[in-house]
Structure 1
Amino acid sequence: MTDPAAYVRKQTLISILITMAISAGFFLAVFGQTNPIAVWAPDNLALDFLPQSGAASFMAALMPALQTRAAMTKGKLPGTAPTVRSIVVRAILLALAALGLAAVVIGALTLSGVASFAWGTAFAIKVAYGALLGLLITPPAVRAVLTKG
């Protein structure tokens, strides 16, 4: 059988890569090649942390947890699989918690007084933030499934 800690690490690494890719894709779709990118109007880079946090965190919790549940139902992982409903509820709660992190980032940007970022800097910040979301959100979501919490 798979070591639970190793399984959580593997799922977290996959989630980090996916949230980075999703963050990069949405950054390109939303901001295109605008340079520099304004922290506030007209580009609103700061406010974009809200939908990024909610959506990326929801997916970083939901997909690995559902994959873990599927592995449990197929007998590839030990334990009794929790309900899909409990997984979805937990993913929503984790996404809401991630909005708190977005509020911290928005507050930091407000206090910093930075008016804009060069395109490359803004891109790197948003992709790194996506990685952080995967790192913070996936482990508790997967552990909860493994322990049927």
Structure 2
Amino acid sequence: MNSADLHIRREVAVSMAINTVFSGAFFLAVFGLGRPVPVWGLGHYVFDFGPQAFAVAFMSTLVPSALSRKALRAGRVASRPSSLRLPTHLLLRALVLAAPAAVVALAGAAAAFAVLGVAVLGWGVALAIKLAVGAGLALVITNLALRATLAEHVA
């Protein structure tokens, strides 16, 4: 495995850990401790998937990409080819990944909970789902962002 692949694996793991913690912290700030969590309505559980996905995807793009560019310039990581093309401007790249992530997460959560017919979730179940979503989004988005970043300097 080359240095670029190792770099991506390490940064993805760090991003997953950080975004899992942030997802938990924001869950606690929004839904509190130990109370059942209402699923439907503005500001409730399903609605929160949009802001959560946007924030996780945005930060999973912006920070690792900036750190990876710095590592590339310093020669600590090698570039690698990728067919994935994203905007080179990091804020635009983060928006391009975060906006669809928010829409897909919100729509997916709404569809899933509508099919399940769930109106209220137990606190522990609701937290576990949010932690898993934060980690899963970080896994996918950080990987995409870093593959595009490390391909920017391929000769």
Normalising by structure 1, we get a TM-score of: 0.89
Query: 3-state SS of the aligned residue for 1:50?
Result: helix
Pick the aligned partner of 2:116 from 109, 112, 115. 112
CA contact (8 A) 1:57 1:98 kept: yes
> Which runs of structure 2 are paired with 1:53-68 in the superposition (5 Å)?
53-68=53-68
CA distance in structure 2 between the aligned counterparts of 1:130 and 1:16, rounded to whole angstroms: 7
Structure 1's unaligned 5+ residue stretches are none
**Offset of residue 125 of structure 1:** 0.6
CA distance in structure 1 between the aligned counterparts of 2:147 and 2:97, rounded to whole angstroms: 13
Tell whether 2:101 aligns with 1:91.
Answer: no
**Offset of residue 43 of structure 1:** 5.9
Tell whether 2:150 aligns with 1:146.
Answer: yes
One-letter amino acid of the structure 2 residue matched with residue 108 of structure 1:
A
Match in the other structure for 1:134:
138
Count of aligned pairs: 144
Match in the other structure for 1:33:
33
Normalising by structure 2, we get a TM-score of: 0.85
For residues 71-110 of structure 1, the C-alpha deviation after alignment (integer angstroms, 9 at most, x for no partner) is 112222235xxxx962221111110121233111222112
CA distance in structure 1 between the aligned counterparts of 2:41 and 2:103, rounded to whole angstroms: 22
The CA RMSD measured in Å over matched residues stands at 1.9
List structure 1 segments (4+ residues) > 2 angstroms apart after TM superposition.
Answer: none
CA distance in structure 2 between the aligned counterparts of 1:89 and 1:43, rounded to whole angstroms: 27
**Offset of residue 5 of structure 1:** 1.3
* Percent of residue pairs bearing the same amino acid type: 38
**Offset of residue 34 of structure 1:** 5.1
